[in-house]
Amino acid sequence: MFTTPIVPVIILDTSDHAHPLGKALLTGGLNVAEVTLRTEAAIESIRTMANIDGLSVGAGTVLTVDHALAAIDAGAEFLVSPGIHQKVIRCAQEHHIPVIPGVTSPSEIATALDLGIKLVKFFPAEPLGGVNLLKALSGVYPNVRFMPTGGIHPGNVADYLSIPNVIACGGSWMVPRGALQEGNFTTVTSLVREAVELTTSIQR
């Protein structure tokens, strides 16, 4: 699904910043964005960014069917949840939208597989046990693909991406909320470019 090894996890406090942010991501070398549904500006931000050519926008922190339907209506191309919300998963599947639920354990991975899901979000990655736990889970479930998110930064992203089952890492360090609130998209572009250069240089 993802053509880059990182997915920026974004919190936008105003939809006015959605368009310049989308352009900043593309200029920095990223063509994907996960806009979390943590603010009232999220849905309108997704709607705006979904209309930017070349940018694939998804919704994060999707907790309810209402969230899912609103995000899909706004143009979200994929949904991400922090846990296994079965009604959200079924809603996404009915609308033929990829959904990535969060998992923390073998039992939750098994539940995801029972629901037809083979790409999951390992969240929160670092507090759960980080790379060591994810390696153990990957060994038991070699056909499952993971997108670890939570506590990932330039200092440890290479360790996660070295795991064969990891298709991408979610992170927010290249889209800091403070810079977004200030409308400082020059800084965002620079951070995105650095993140892309770092992660694409990793031997996989």
Q: Is 34 tagged catalytic?
A: yes
The sign of the dihedral angle between the CA atoms of 82, 74, 113, 2 is: negative
Give the residue from 202, 143, 136 showing the smallest Cα distance to 168: 202
Whether 133 contacts 152, CB under 8 Å = no
Q: How many residues does the chain have?
A: 204
Per the residue annotation, which of 34, 94, 135, 194 is the catalytic one? 34
**Rounded-to-integer distance, Cα 28 and Cα 161, Å:** 20
Per the residue annotation, which of 121, 126, 182, 197 is the catalytic one? 121
Whether 169 contacts 152, CB under 8 Å = yes
The residues carrying an active-site annotation are 34, 121
